[in-house]
Structure 1
């Protein structure tokens, strides 16, 4: 293992600094977070009325086969009346995300890189992913969204890290590796259909590489495929899925799905390339990829033809985009795009590495030595500006430093006091004075019969909740 150069240490330090700048307001906002009327109270009510295990069966049979998601949401802090849990879990999730990025980077760059370069890669991925989240509130502060989508992204990174470590040890029948990989696969598949496609794409690429290079599948790969198939079966065959799909008249329109997905994909890829830190971080990664592909023979996963990997990555992103068009008939929800972003970035980095491996004999790094430092510094400035003007930082710092999050927190506390102290069956609440978009999903509705109102009313043993008119418009 070689010692990092002063330039590499500088890049690592600055990327780590960017990560802290991004994480700081997200941690601060966590202390003002609250359960959302969107689903959180409904899941809690079901669990409290029918019990933890029976509630999962009710949802599996009546609405969703997402067995791991159902497991988490029916054991939410709200079922115990633990409101402080909603201020803790976003910090835990953020820490797990950072740790999973480092676990992946550490295994991807296992040799011959030291911790400085691994930290730089992990920090770069963290900055690129978190600073460009399409919906911060749905990824970090909404418990039901965390259980359905966010945690599966963390599991995917840990799965990739485990697979890389397992590959390096020979990918044989190691019960510890296989047990961890199987649990992560089932957790990802049981989170959502989007997560299912995400992880099965990884297993499919693994199997495809073995078939091309060895003309057969290893026993380990077969085992993981069987585990994945079992998870997919229980997710897809759930009676509740038919109920949910049947409730939408625009679902299963294949021509609409294909045309809409292709149209969406063109704009999506363009935005990812030109409106995120993807390009400057790619410039910083190319020297790492050059060193990574120096030792021959390359590991099996780096010997795949780049055109095949490009086809795989493009197909995976397109399928992920098409899922929402197929199920609902409209573009992917922001919480789905958050996951698509992660898959796109990981696929981009993998393809970039394969192209460097193919073209490295034509690359003469000594010719560009004089430009390395200015290019690296320029890429870092570009990354900082792109992240700073992206969708997350202005929103998060604005809600925190302006006091909007604090006023929202106080208004929610006042509502809780009002709900618990009111002795009538009808609770009258006024609109919130602020709606901090970084962490706020939805409020109760003007219609007392709306599901969010009914779930919140049931939680506090009320007949109904009425949102009173307020002449003062809330601040967003």
Structure 2
């Protein structure tokens, strides 16, 4: 029998093969955790060089002018029905409380909240049987691969006002499904009501964030309802149906908001002035944009790598799936394609332009996480030993390929952004804010600032100049971009002294 020396063994003793395997597994687990931690490190570290953007100042100013409750009313009546977004962007905005430094923590909340929600979701889906270390590693892997295939990272995690509208939706959707599952598994009435209440609150907040969040969460709950009903699980169907009703009620409140009509058609609109709905044109636009989205090589590769990397874990935990968590692979893929297609169709109905990067990133995250569930639901109960070995070999090959692709791509970009750009970015932002604060204290109403320099944004957490340059201060774009910043500091206006240098766009962009 083969033996090898180990520092875990007593002096002069050798480990048997089973013991050697246990020691090897322990070191493998530590190494994997360390590599995943290093992979996520620059994204978390970049949070400490994060600063507010003009929308962040604007939402804080709305509270300053109208009060907290008044800001919700103004937003609902003049901006849109996204009541969840308005609530989070005002109550959770550090600028509401005059706390500029708080923006160093908002990306940590988005990134850490996503990681925690993924961890809790994986633990719950396995009925708490998946080891915490394995659940943590799988959650970190999911987040890292999500970042690798994400159309744009900055607005999902670092730009506060968009992160609250989009990434918060992913976190809340996970909490809604987690709460529903825990409620179904609870053994006492009090625990069941507590988890089900959390699920309802998460649903109501989610559908009030964006229309795409409303659509995708509604579609997810509908699929869960139909699958539970067809499987004869009436109690589960009632639970998902109750959450779907909450989504419908909250969605109606958001969709029927007066602010939606103001945003789409302008103040003083009439229902007779807007153009008729072009359904065929919308279908054509949606098909073109959705096809482009689905055919992005980076996203297709991430989905394939994810299947190979998680394969052994999904096979190992297949017997721990919640009751009825089974769906043929073809049907699961159909659910994903329909959900994504509906999202693009909705956007095409209201806008002829392709969805912005933040919207596509939200859809991408939903599809990636749903793809994980689809794969797990499709794993057969009985698996041969040969198939197990093949899945394990695929995982090893995929791990090597993933490590190489991340090292030369996303990781290289993120580490460069953190180590090279972040210090300069932080220094210049702090100097700019200090100058504006000093001008306000001295009673000078106008500040002229030099544009940022010496930065080549990698477009992870640093996008470049965030003030608008125009020699004519009456320009409407300058008013919308620069004025919220100036007014928050107590100034009349802020402008750039010269046009900013063209950003050297490297890495993934908006």
TM-score using structure 1 length = 0.88
Asked if 1:454 is matched to 2:454, the reply is no
Change in 2 beyond 3 A, CA 1:30/1:114: closer
- Provide, for residues 110-140 of structure 1, a one-character-per-residue CA deviation record: whole Å limited to 9, x for no partner: 3654334323322321221133332221111
1:266 correspondence with 2:291: yes
Task: Output aligned runs, 1:47-446, within 5 Å.
Answer: 47-75=63-91, 76-110=93-127, 112-169=129-186, 174-214=192-232, 218-246=237-265, 253-271=278-296, 276-294=301-319, 299-357=322-380, 361=382, 363-366=383-386, 369=389, 374-390=393-409, 392-402=410-420, 404-422=421-439, 423-433=443-453, 434=455, 436=457, 437-441=459-463, 443-446=466-469
Look up the match of 2:6: none
Query: Is the alpha carbon distance of 1:187 and 1:129 closer, same or farther for their aligned partners in structure 2, counting shifts above 3 Å?
Result: same
- The answer to whether structure 1 residue 466 and structure 2 residue 495 are counterparts is yes
Q: CA deviation at 1:67?
A: 0.8
Aligned counterpart in structure 2 of residue 29 of structure 1, from 39, 46, 61? 46
Aligned residues of 2:149 and 2:298 also touching (Cα < 8 A): no
CA distance in 1, matches of 2:56, 2:317: 45
Summarize the Cα distance change of 1:120–1:110 in structure 2 as closer, same or farther, 3 Å threshold. farther
2:231 and 2:324 in contact (8 A); partners too: no
**Matches of 1:273 and 1:475 in 2, distance apart?**
22
Q: Report the alpha carbon displacement of residue 159 of structure 1 after superposing the two structures with TM.
A: 2.2
Matched, 1:42 2:58: yes
Larger displacement relative to structure 2 (409-418 or 265-274): 265-274
Q: Distance in 2 between matches of 1:396 and 1:251?
A: 46
1:320-379: CA deviation from partner (whole Å, max 9, x where unpaired): 23333222221121111221112111222222223322xx55x4224663x565433222
- CA shift, 1:470, in A, is 5.2
Distance 1:29 1:114, change over 3 A: closer
Q: Is the 8 A contact 1:152 1:195 kept in 2?
A: yes
CA distance in 1, matches of 2:155, 2:134: 31
CA distance 1:290–1:439, shift in 2 (3 Å): closer
Is residue 245–residue 251 contact of structure 1 (8 Å, CA) maintained in 2? Answer: no
Contact 1:186 1:227 in 2 (8 A): yes
CA distance in 2, matches of 1:251, 1:292: 52
CA contact (8 A) 2:176 2:200 kept: no
Which secondary structure does the structure 2 equivalent of 1:214 belong to? coil
Q: 1:242 to 1:120 in 2, by over 3 A?
A: same
Equivalent-residue separation in structure 1 for 2:25 and 2:355 (angstroms): 38
Distance 1:128 1:206, change over 3 A: same
| Separation (CA, whole Å) in 1 of partners of 2:198 and 2:417 | 39
Aligned partners of 2:33 and 2:347: how far apart in 1? 35
Question: Which is further off, 203-212 or 316-325?
Answer: 316-325
CA 1:368–1:103 in structure 2 vs 1: closer, same or farther (change >3 Å)? closer
2:299 and 2:157 map into 1 onto residues whose CA distance is: 25
Quickly say closer, same or farther: Cα 1:464–1:313, change in 2 above 3 A.
Answer: same
Is the contact made by 1:277 and 1:382 (CA closer than 8 Å) also made in structure 2? Answer: no
Taking the aligned partners of 2:316 and 2:275, their CA distance within structure 1 comes to 50
Q: Which structure is larger by alpha-carbon Rg, 1 or 2?
A: 2
Deviation at 1:66, TM superposition (A): 0.9
- Aligned-partner Cα distance in 1 for 2:277–2:467: 31
What number of residue pairs does the alignment pair up?
465
Gaps of 5+ in 2: 1-20, 506-510
Task: Give the distance between the partners of 1:172 and 1:201, measured in 2 at CA.
Answer: 28
CA RMSD of aligned residues (A): 3.0
Q: Take 2:276 and 2:485, find their aligned partners in 1: how far apart are those partners?
A: 30
- How far apart are 1:251 and its partner, in Å? 9.8
Instruction: Tell me the distance in 2 between the aligned counterparts of 1:112 and 1:303.
Output: 18
Q: Structure 1 CA distance, aligned partners of 2:48 and 2:435?
A: 21
**Which residue in the other structure is 2:18 paired with?**
none
Structure 2 length normalisation: TM-score? 0.82
Report the 3-state secondary structure (helix = DSSP H, G, I; strand = E; otherwise coil) of the residue aligned with 1:465: strand
Deviations 1:432-463 (A, max 9, x none): 11363322355221233421122222223333
